[in-house]
Amino acid sequence: MKSISSTLTIEKNRIATENPWLVLLDITLTDGVTKFSLVANTEDIQFQGRTYTAMPFNLIPPKESSKGEIPTVTLEVCNVTRVIQGYLEALDGAIGSGVVMRIVNAAYLAEDYAELEMEFEVLAAKCNAQWVSFTLGAPSPLQKRFPLYRYIAMHCKWVQDYKGAECKYSGPLPDCKGTLDDCRAHGNSRRFGGEPGLSGGGVRLV
């Protein structure tokens, strides 16, 4: 059971109040840089040091199904300005972006709202002249690659990201063939991304 502060509990239980409950959205696109902070309100608000821009949006709850489908939520964000649509076109729909939704009370923005947060991932996106529609939910585990990597004896799996976070080669050589011999020539064999222990022919299941 979620627990909220006594102040918010009292406000929630009021029969009538002048203090509206607001829905906040933090959308982080797949480029890791572009972020939108939106509030379903008539004016911008400040929350946790961020400015939330007033923007019309709708949240459509999941429909009940007996087919074993993973529940999803539809988020419709106003597309009149075409701002978000431009980012989606540049990022191939921004599939995999993160969305955090919070429910806050306009009169008590300093309270702890950790129990009123929900995190989603963008599974699909589409646009029309009026709305950008995101399908939000958890990705199906059956669609994830398992195991995460292919284990090849004498070929480095980091070669596609040469000098990247896993390879970390910082020397003068401009490229790498992805072989153990070439990795040794680079003086970087301790970060070789292959599995030499699997060599010797045959098939092994690990």
pLDDT of 202 > 60? The answer is: no
**204 or 110: whose pLDDT is higher?**
110
Domain boundaries, given as residue ranges, for the chain: 6-140, 145-206
**Confidence at residue 145, expressed as pLDDT on a 0 to 100 scale:** 72
- pTM here? 0.65
Query: Architecture of domain 6-140 in CATH?
Result: Roll (2.30)
Pairing of β 50-54 and β 35-39: parallel
CA 23 from centre of chain: 19
Residue 38 · residue 58 · CB < 8 Å:
no
First to last CA, the chain: 41
pLDDT of 204 > 70? The answer is: no
Helix extents (H) in 52-169:
83-90
Mean pLDDT across the chain, nearest whole number? 86
Reported as a single tens digit per residue, the pLDDT across 173-190 is: 999 999 999 999 999 999
Over residues 37-63, mean pLDDT: 91
